[in-house]
Amino acid sequence: MSKKLSPEEIVKYFKDEFKTKIKSVDIRKKTAGLKKHESVNIWMKIDKSIFKNFIKYLCDLQYPHLSVVSGNDLGKTVELIYHFTLGYGTRFNEIVLNLSLELPKSKLEIETICDYIPGALVTEREKQEMLGVKIIGIPDDRRLFLPDDFPKGIYPWRRDETGPDKMYKNLHEVKK
Amino acid sequence: MKQKTTTKTTYHVPIGPIHPALKEPVYFEFEIDGERIVDVDVKLGHVHRGIEWASRKRNPIQILYLAERVCGICSYCHPTAFTLAVEDIAGIEVPERAEYLRVIQGELERICSHTLWAGVAAHEIGFDTVLFLTWEIRERAMDLTEYLTGNRVTKAIMTMGGIRRDITKDMIPTVTKHLNYLKDNFEKLRSVFLDDKTVKMRSQNVGILTKEDALKLCAVGPTARASGVKKDVRVDTSYFAYGDLDIDYITPDILTGEVNGDVYDRILVRLLEVKQSIDLIEQCLDKMPSGAIISEPNTPKLLAQLKKVTGDGIGRHEAPRGEVIHYVKLTGEESPYTWKIRAPTYNNILPWIPMLKGEQIADIPIVAASTDPCMSCTNRVAIIDDMNKYELTNEELHNLSIKKTRGLKK
């Protein structure tokens, strides 16, 4: 199904193209069982300006499986982590690519990747309602998990004033 | 929302959030033309309980037991994925014997889950005798779970750095006895589900998911494999003792020589996986080395160690329904900074849409159930036709499905 790629080759492929826009790379290898076969995780941090191009480049290398997008409220920024897997379909060939990028809270926007990976829709809708990140060009921007009468401007995963703290402490004061 | 698209010949059927095919709540809105489904919309979140939020005030050991309560059927998978993520961050080593015991528990859960699903699927198409036959066999897998862990559902068996209960030599005869029973009865299940003419008529060429759609929509687990996508965390990567075992992807072509991606293929993949799981448990019992089952049995010491750790990591495990992935961020505090759970059904929601389009109303229960969705469910369908509103109860919709089976038999 997919050609064998080493994690170093994957990192080089992206570094050759995006150079300094790739801020950090961490290749983690771990063994398990008696035979000590390896599993590989790549953690890569990129500048948000190259995000869409990066995804296009990734799809050119090999069509990835997007497991999920997770997110952190880091204070001044919101971090998004796209967990991709590559090379599945052959034994011990799979590599997880964890692609992280930070968005400043003053401009919480990122392009959709649904045009390349339509299956990203569920997780992108979740990020919009849970973290308040605007996904530009998302094909369906309705809420997914939150009910329609959930107050606007409150994002359950945030840790600042837009977080849900007020809601659960003073439920009687919440206006729907 | 979708009402705007209604034309003179189509009407809308909301199904859920309480619905018969899914035993948990989810909301579908179908656009129907006569008996045919034209379009589908899905809404989720009716059982979003804020478990990740609750974790912000708990330490990693407490979270293990919280994770078990994400889902009753997957009460091993979620603590497993969480444990793998924490072990990844903290660099905790696991004794080899524990790696084998972890596989045994994981595969036992798969047997319980797949046979549970097979019973439900039989019920959906009106074969309640098959439901009872399947669950009678499943009961033995549940007995074995209870024997090994002390409980049937929330097993509290997983922990960081190992596993909590060993399988000693004197336990092996009982384990083998149960496994032999399951093996002997597997043929019965196989012939009922795979050779029966009526099951074939209800499941073949129904609810098709093409390989291309499965890849694009990021489907996981048996749903993806039944469409020919070779994706299985146990084979793709090395974790626990899976790397030492003889295991391969189960796709429908290994039995029938072709991949159709229909309901029948999804039944077939799950049944073969039951057999594969029995085989994997036997391999583990055979190859398991002796030694410790946990690297740090002193829990307060382990917690103190975890308190000093910072970093982020992920844990992935092949749950019965597909890849489960947890992301954890530790910042040197008692509780994790972030914990993100992604259960397999999350990725198998979008594939429902191509599966259901073009099918009939009576096929909704079996097609929706064929991905083995894990949410939680209900009993009523309201059909709203302009101003006239009437309700289709669980029983009526179920009867429609039975009627279709009976009609095919004539």
Which CATH number do you get for residue B365? 3.30.390
Question: What was the pLDDT predicted at B5?
Answer: 58
Average pLDDT over residues B149-173: 93
Of residues A100 and B52, more confidence is placed in A100
Sheet arrangement for strand A37-46 = A22-32, A37-46, A95-104, A77-86, A65-73
B338·A72 Cβ contact <8 A: yes
Could you say which of A83, A119, A146 has the minimum Cβ distance to residue B45? A146
DSSP string, B48-89: ---HHHHGGGS-HHHHHHHHHTT-STTTTHHHHHHHHHHHHH
Q: Return the CATH architecture of domain A7-147.
A: 2-Layer Sandwich (3.30)
Question: What was the pLDDT predicted at A172?
Answer: 66
Average pLDDT over residues A33-55: 94
Examine residue B17 and say whether the peptide bond preceding it is cis (omega within 30 degrees of 0): yes
Single out the residue in B325, B345, B365 at which a domain terminates. Answer: B345
pLDDT tens profile B347-389: 888 898 899 888 888 888 888 888 877 653 222 233 334 444 4
A71, pLDDT greater than 90: yes
Mean pLDDT of chain A: 90
A3 Cβ contact list (under 8 Å, min separation 6): A62
A165 → chain B, closest CA residue: B53
In a shared domain, residues B42 and B56: no
Domain that includes residue B109, residue range: 51-345
A96·B43 Cβ contact <8 A: no
Q: Exposed, middle or buried by CB within 10 Å (0-12, 13-18, 19+), for B219?
A: buried
In a shared domain, residues B13 and B67: no
Of residues B322 and B8, more confidence is placed in B322
pLDDT tens profile B170-197: 999 999 999 999 999 998 899 989 999 9
Q: Complex ipTM, two decimals?
A: 0.93
In a shared domain, residues B256 and B383: no
Question: What count of CB pairs under 8 Å joins A to B?
Answer: 128
In a shared domain, residues B276 and B358: no
Question: What was the pLDDT predicted at A166?
Answer: 75
A64, pLDDT greater than 60: yes
Question: What was the pLDDT predicted at B388?
Answer: 47
- Report the range of poorest mean pLDDT among A34-38, A124-128, B142-146, B386-390: B386-390
In a shared domain, residues B10 and B76: no
Q: Distance from B368 to chain A by nearest Cα, in Å?
A: 18
B238·A142 Cβ contact <8 A: no
A59 → chain B, closest CA residue: B216
Residue holding tokens 């229960």? B365
CB interface of B with A, residues 274-313, below 8 Å: 287, 289, 312
How many domains is chain B built from? 2
Single out the residue in B305, B328, B345 at which a domain terminates. Answer: B345
Provide the Cα torsion B16, B12, A147, B321; round to 10°.
Answer: 50
CA–CA separation, B343 and B356 (whole Å) = 22
DSSP code for B357? T
Question: What was the pLDDT predicted at B382?
Answer: 35
In a shared domain, residues B331 and B390: no
Average pLDDT over residues B1-22: 69
In a shared domain, residues B295 and B385: no
Q: Does B2 touch chain A (CB under 8 A)?
A: no
In a shared domain, residues B316 and B378: no
Could you say which of A94, A118, A146 has the minimum Cβ distance to residue B236? A94
Question: What was the pLDDT predicted at B393?
Answer: 62
φ, ψ of residue B88 in degrees (nearest 5): -65, -45
Of residues A7 and B71, more confidence is placed in A7
B307, pLDDT greater than 90: yes
Q: Distance from A16 to chain B by nearest Cα, in Å?
A: 26
> A30, A68, A93, A158: best mutation site toward chain B, by most B Cβ within 10 Å?
A68
CA–CA separation, B336 and B106 (whole Å) = 25
Q: Does B41 touch chain A (CB under 8 A)?
A: no
B314·A39 Cβ contact <8 A: no
Q: CATH number of the domain at B305, please.
A: 1.10.645.10
Q: Does B244 touch chain A (CB under 8 A)?
A: yes
Average pLDDT over residues B381-403: 58
In a shared domain, residues B19 and B125: no
CB interface of B with A, residues 123-162, below 8 Å: none
Average pLDDT over residues A98-103: 95
In a shared domain, residues B59 and B176: yes
B325·A83 Cβ contact <8 A: yes
B315, pLDDT greater than 60: yes
A65 → chain B, closest CA residue: B218
In a shared domain, residues B207 and B96: yes
Residue B135: pLDDT band (50, 70, 90) is very high
pLDDT tens profile B269-284: 999 999 999 999 999 9
A33, pLDDT greater than 60: yes
